[in-house]
Amino acid sequence: MPRTEVVLYAEDDGTCPLLDWMDDLPQKAQDKCIVRIERLGEMGHELRRPESDFLRDGIYELRVALQGVQYRMLYFFSENQAVISHGFIKKEKEVPPKQIDVAIERKDRFESNPLKHTYIE
């Protein structure tokens, strides 16, 4: 199975919502999130529960649990890439619709100008 290129979404000003969020996480949570991102690169569309799940409107979640805390990273596919929009800590049973809406807006922006909205270190 060919690898899926994983890229990070960038805002208009070049900042990366996912990295900004991860910077504030405990090191062990960051490590588990990185492993999950690597699995997305290995498995692409084939990644399933418990690691990933489809939400709606082309938006998926990467799922990480650590010490009772539910970490989620929302992503979408564009061409042959998986684009990670952002992350958050899930407190409710369901992913809040507002979080999915943010990812949908970012998907639309990314698809209208992929170069502008791809994070580059």
Assess if residue 117 is contained within a domain.
no
Q: How far apart are CA 3 and CA 16, in angstroms?
A: 23
Assess if residue 118 is contained within a domain.
no
Q: DSSP secondary-structure letter at 46?
A: G
Which tens digit of pLDDT belongs to each residue from 49-106?
Answer: 999 999 999 999 999 999 999 999 999 999 989 999 999 999 888 999 999 999 999 9
Q: How far apart are CA 8 and CA 59, in angstroms?
A: 14
Q: pTM value?
A: 0.96
Q: Which tokens hold the place of 53?
A: 């799940």
In this structure, are residues 99 and 18 in contact, taking their beta carbons and an 8 Å threshold? no
Assess if residue 119 is contained within a domain.
no
The CATH number for 63's domain is: 3.30.2310.20
Q: Is the pLDDT of residue 2 over 80?
A: no
Q: Which tokens hold the place of 110?
A: 């990314």
> What range defines the domain where residue 53 resides?
5-112
Which tens digit of pLDDT belongs to each residue from 10-52?
Answer: 999 999 999 999 999 999 999 999 999 999 999 999 999 999 9
Count structural domains, the chain: 1
Assess if residue 52 is contained within a domain.
yes
Q: How many CB atoms lie within 10 A of CB 15?
A: 11
Q: Which tokens hold the place of 17?
A: 């919502």
In this structure, are residues 32 and 64 in contact, taking their beta carbons and an 8 Å threshold? yes
Assess if residue 121 is contained within a domain.
no
